[in-house]
Structure 1
């Protein structure tokens, strides 16, 4: 464990435990809404569910036979009773959790090849998936647990890496190998792309909103983080908007902190801290400076674990309820839990 204690902060990322069990690369970790369970997905075609027993974290369930290839992403429904899984076998699995047991109740088909990411809307009534086939699909969830395709969006020109929903609105963001971020909303009876954000110089690997939804965070192959600010129509700053759509402007670029690609970021909704994962095997944590101007915000690196994993760190996820508890996973097959101290 290495603490750089930069910029006057005395914040440290302390290791809590290492969770072993996956036989190949672990691609994704995701907390359930109550923060009591952690789901992980792997190239070994399994999903593992981890929970705490006393002072120890243990594997509660292993979900098998849902997919034929790598499971790239998992996401919990807002109610915590369903888990969605996106796989390189071109399908998305829906798992129902009842009395602690998981059952695959649906397999969503339609993408031409690898599904890279899956995300639930805050209402729980919509699901989004994205794929190497350059498309984003939006699925409607019916009361009888049926999943129907509501829209196929082909706004990107390359492999779509990630999808995420606005925390309170039914607005979707996606990012792609085409170096762009797209925002979508429903108009009349169909979904349309309402904004294209361009600033990254290479593949955008992930996007996530802050807790208010008025900011967006992105990371990319260009070894940068970018903060995007929303400017609604009639904004006092005078940023030009079109129709009823907000404008989104890149107001901060964090560069020089990473030696390799930044694969993943997570913006903590309880502390405001940003964690990053990348090809340099490190985890970095950033915090916005006090009295920062929202139109020209300043963020500082507060701590780094240089060798957080033995190989690429693929995903980081802040626990939604326990302040400062962070999960990470890696090509090295390990999942690690970390605790921020010194806040």
Structure 2
């Protein structure tokens, strides 16, 4: 169970979670084997039918074709692995994972299938498994190589995430900092990383990170002011911060999202922006038992500097720690435009925003899995709740991923979505979403 201060009391009354499971969420058989120890989080591969789950000092990679273990990463960390992220945009015969650990380090792991190439090797092996029921992975666990340790944080790493291009990696820690790393290796076989930014404006543990996905609108702020990548971070200080790289290659905080009454456990970017929106929205979720939607106000943007009579910049009031000498062109106005109907009676540890349907799922300390849908006018409704999703155990994480198993029609493999939850019971459970 993630640790946090007790959330403040609230006058809001959570919606009653039905004692009967909703018809919209149907549990599928758990991935095998069950891990028999607390599992923190699961990350689907961007394109291949693979799911990596962090637990204890290891990561188990599951095949989403066979719904069983594909390989294991172990021996790289001295304490629990808290998070894992896949590097995108690699050839299908190569895999790269970064793990973040309570031992204050991040580890780079690589797999190369020497039988690879299109039509053979790793991609064929995994995708064909569901069709021929051949689960012979050979010495799969021996194929992962622990190639590099990234050191610098003073305390536990809580989250790690690759940018959409894979060029940047962000890590965050209990030491209140966010580090941005750049892969400067001459090739994928050459692991050389450089720290390009250490961001220390949060006033509490930084719990989670998320890069804005590569979707329409991500480029709308203009290359003259910002680089392409946009990063959000969530903290024990009850805030979300948005970071961008300016024209001088400095990473700066451009917004502080304030409104939660307790620790913000994480954030999710919108993967399917609404028609007419200029930029993806952000979903944040918290120990205050709420999930909130934040929207960037671009109508009132002003890219000019705030200059005084003598050409000197005039100070303004600080915004959650943003220096008062910051140019107005580096400031963004984000507004909380919706709060999801309150369902949970404990911390919301995780939420997932579907890039396909726009549905949102949340889960947390009360063991409830909830599903929400946005209607016209930005109004959100609860499609249904599933209590005791992992029995009496807390549910630490939920994510959307594609279905590749034999239980789905062949033409829908890699297209139809499902949810996967990860809990204190060590169970990694897929869920069919019925609409």
TM-score by length of structure 2 reads 0.71
The 8 Å contact of residues 395 and 424 in structure 2, kept in 1 or not, is answered as yes
**Pairs aligned (count):** 324
SS of corresponding position for 1:243: helix
For the aligned residues, what is the CA RMSD?
Answer: 1.9
Q: Is the 8 A contact 1:223 1:259 kept in 2?
A: yes
Instruction: Name whichever structure is richer in strand by fraction.
Output: 1
Matched, 1:178 2:191: no
Tell me the equivalent position of 2:15: none
Point out the structure with max Rg over C-alpha: 2
Residue in 2 that maps onto 1:8: none
Q: Hey, what's the Cα distance between the residues in 1 that align with 2:229 and 2:374?
A: 27
Shift of 1:2: 7.0
SS of corresponding position for 1:174: strand
Q: Tell me which residue corresponds to 1:200.
A: 260
Rounded Cα–Cα distance in structure 2 between residues aligned with 1:70 and 1:300: 37
The normalised TM-score by structure 1 is 0.90
State yes or no: 1:95 paired with 2:109: yes
Give the superposition deviation at 1:324: 3.0
Residue 238 of structure 1 corresponds to which residue in structure 2?
none
Shift of 1:79: 2.0
1:275 aligns with 2:361: yes
After superposition, the Cα gap between the structure-2 partners of 1:96 and 1:3, relative to the gap in structure 1 and judged at 3 Å, is farther
* Contact 2:101 2:157 (C-alpha < 8 Å) held by counterparts: yes
Corresponding residue number in structure 2 for 1:328: 421
Offset of 1:322 from its aligned partner?
A: 3.7
SS of structure 2 residue aligned to 1:319: strand
Higher relative helix content? 2
Q: Output the CA distance in 2 between the equivalents of 1:15 and 1:93.
A: 33
Question: Aligned to 1:304, which of 363, 381, 385?
Answer: 385
Moved beyond 6 Å, runs of 4+: none
Counterpart position of 1:77? 87
**Is residue 104–residue 151 contact of structure 2 (8 Å, CA) maintained in 1?**
yes
Gaps of 5+ in 1: 6-10, 236-240
1:35 Cα deviation from its structure 2 partner: 4.9
Contact 1:13 1:339 in 2 (8 A): yes
Query: Which deviations, in whole Å up to 9, do the C-alpha atoms of 1:3-59 show, x marking residues without a partner?
Result: 655xxxxx51111221234242100001001150010001x2110000045xx4110
2:63 is aligned to 51
Distance of 2:289 and 2:264 partners within structure 1: 10
Cα pair 2:63 2:69 within 8 Å, conserved: yes
Query: Cα deviations across residues 157-179 of structure 1 (Å, max 9, x unaligned)?
Result: 11000011011340100000000
